[in-house]
Amino acid sequence: MLYYLFDYLNKLDVPATGLFQYISFRASIAMIISLIVTILFGGKMINYLRGLQVKETVRDLGLAGEKQKQGTPTMGGVIILLAILLPTILLAKLDNIYIILMIVATIWTGLIGFADDYIKVFKRDKKGLKGRFKIIGQVGLGLIVGTVMFFNNDVVVREDITKNPDKTFLEEVKRFEVKGADGSVKILADYRAVNTSLPFIKSYEFDYSSPFKFIGDGFHRWAFLLYIPIVIFIVTAVSNAANLTDGIDGLATGVSAIIGVCLGFFAYCSGNFIAADYLNIMYLPDTGELVIFSAAFIGACIGFLWYNAYPAQVFMGDTGSLALGGIIATLAIAIRKELLIPLLCGIFVLENLSVVMQVSYFKYSRKKYGEGRRIFLMSPLHHHYQKKGIPEAKIVTRFWIVGILLAILTIMTLKIR
């Protein structure tokens, strides 16, 4: 909303209001606001949750520090959601399809997590929201994201067709000429497309419609049969993986902030014609606005650590963890970097895999040997290290370091091709 106010004032030649035209300036303000909201509002929210007796019931897993965590307020994810949404609504262009999509993803997954926490806390049902309802909610979001990304005419790739005259896409939206500084004329075209960046391969994107070439003319139109199910899988998988990672103080929050920095960088490069051309990646008009959302997301995660770092004064609950995963998945899909998720979200992937491996091997060994055996002392993976006696704060810090390394490697894929 502030963007439109200052845009109007700028047209009236009011001094300094032109700053709001710069994405970097608005992103900086968004991060500052989100930090202020989490730090100032967070304390009041924690006291309010305590007053409502919204307390976490910690299962007895035989881990160090469990007793001191009993009674810690939960549902703190509300703080994160507010710190993301408020600066985004104030500073981003609200008619931007990508911003609308991110706001929907944030609220949607936040409500799923809130329902789960509400049932656990107020209905005294430790199981929370039934698994099938969680999955239905996540599939619903994936369906929305996939449908918008495939069918909406504002979701386009801009191509210089003087370089690629034979390249085909789903549908051309508009075409225009641009004169270069040397007097040359470029013909640019906006296309609806379901292409995504392939890491480590230069000048090539994966086209989701390519498996349907056997159909002949119009095969692009059938790409949604592959694209939308993949989007649904990614949204569901990442959301649940973030939920599993939220097991010790500050872990999911810190890792999410690191991922947010990387995705914000990609959003800036994809939405900037010069940067996209230099890095030889797809230019995605209007995705630059996602930098404002990413900045708010990073600020919210870092600010939440003020209260969530060890020893935590509040837990985010499923309200926060499901939302973090849903946001990360949607953001990666929006900037067409979903194939980088296994690398960038490596911590989430490892945590998820550790559970799958543990459960699968336990069932297999019980059948074969008559007794269930385990690969890890406990899963998810962070509990394995707790069982080994490593202090919780050290585990979190080491996971953050690994997360930073993975983020750097993800950014390096721009050059390692």
Q: φ and ψ at 359, to 5 degrees?
A: -65, -45
What pLDDT shows up at residue 141? 97
Q: Which domain holds residue 182?
A: 157-217
Question: Which of 37-41, 120-124, 221-225, 361-365 comes out lowest in average pLDDT?
Answer: 120-124
What pLDDT shows up at residue 294? 97
Residues 6 or more apart whose CB falls under 8 angstroms from that of 13 comprise: none
Q: Assess whether 43 and 139 both reside in one domain.
A: yes
Q: Assess whether 52 and 114 both reside in one domain.
A: yes
Q: Assess whether 201 and 150 both reside in one domain.
A: no
Select from 175, 201, 217 the last residue of a domain: 217
Q: Assess whether 234 and 198 both reside in one domain.
A: no
Question: Which of 6-10, 91-95, 202-206 comes out lowest in average pLDDT?
Answer: 202-206
Q: Is the pLDDT of residue 168 over 70?
A: no
Structural domain count, the chain: 2
What pLDDT shows up at residue 59? 58
53 in a structural domain: yes
Q: Assess whether 213 and 231 both reside in one domain.
A: no
Q: HSE (CB half, 13 Å, CA atoms) of 346?
A: 15
In whole angstroms, what separates CA 325 from the centre of its chain? 6
What pLDDT shows up at residue 197? 83
Which is nearest to 395 in space by CA: 298, 217, 289, 252? 252
CB atoms within 10 A of CB 191: 20
Evaluate the CA torsion angle 190, 195, 197, 198 in order and state its sign: negative
280 in a structural domain: yes
At 251-299, the pLDDT tens digits run 999 999 999 999 999 999 999 988 988 888 889 999 999 999 999 999 9
Q: Using the structure block, give the residue that is written with the tokens 């009236």.
A: 12
Residues 6 or more apart whose CB falls under 8 angstroms from that of 117 comprise: 74, 75, 77, 128, 317, 318, 319
Q: Assess whether 128 and 67 both reside in one domain.
A: yes
Residues 6 or more apart whose CB falls under 8 angstroms from that of 27 comprise: 264, 291, 292, 294, 295
Q: Assess whether 260 and 147 both reside in one domain.
A: yes
75 in a structural domain: yes
81 in a structural domain: yes
260 in a structural domain: yes
pLDDT-derived band at 121, boundaries 50, 70, 90: confident
What pLDDT shows up at residue 324? 96
At 197-255, the pLDDT tens digits run 888 877 667 889 888 888 888 888 889 999 999 999 999 999 999 999 988 999 999 99
pLDDT-derived band at 123, boundaries 50, 70, 90: confident
What pLDDT shows up at residue 65? 58
Select from 346, 371, 402 the last residue of a domain: 346
What pLDDT shows up at residue 57? 62
More confident residue, 14 or 38: 38
SS3 of residue 197 by DSSP = strand
Q: What is the mean pLDDT of residues 110-128?
A: 88
What pLDDT shows up at residue 176? 81
What pLDDT shows up at residue 25? 93
At 26-69, the pLDDT tens digits run 999 999 999 999 999 988 888 888 887 776 665 556 665 566 67
Select from 323, 346, 369 the last residue of a domain: 346
More confident residue, 101 or 59: 101
* DSSP state string for 68-137: HHTT-B--THHHHHHHHHHHHHHHS-TT-HHHHHHHHHHHHHHHHHHHHHHHHHHS--TT-S-HHHHHHH
Q: Is the pTM of this model over 0.85?
A: yes
Q: Assess whether 190 and 104 both reside in one domain.
A: no
Q: What is the mean pLDDT of residues 161-166?
A: 69
The token duo for 96 is: 């931007």
119 in a structural domain: yes
Q: Assess whether 259 and 300 both reside in one domain.
A: yes
Question: Which of 40-44, 79-83, 137-141, 318-322 comes out lowest in average pLDDT?
Answer: 40-44
294 in a structural domain: yes
What dihedral angle (degrees, nearest 10) is formed by the CA atoms of 188, 192, 194, 196? 30
Residues 6 or more apart whose CB falls under 8 angstroms from that of 16 comprise: none
Q: Give the Å distances, CA to CA, from 322 to 18, 78, 111, 135, 252.
A: 37, 12, 9, 11, 10
Q: Assess whether 121 and 35 both reside in one domain.
A: yes
Residues in the chain: 417
d(CA 270, CA 268): 6
At 175-197, the pLDDT tens digits run 887 776 667 777 888 888 888 88
Q: φ and ψ at 56, to 5 degrees?
A: -80, 135
The token duo for 306 is: 């003020």
d(CA 257, CA 365): 38
At 309-350, the pLDDT tens digits run 988 889 999 999 999 999 999 999 999 999 999 999 999 999
406 in a structural domain: no
Q: Assess whether 173 and 83 both reside in one domain.
A: no
Q: Assess whether 52 and 105 both reside in one domain.
A: yes
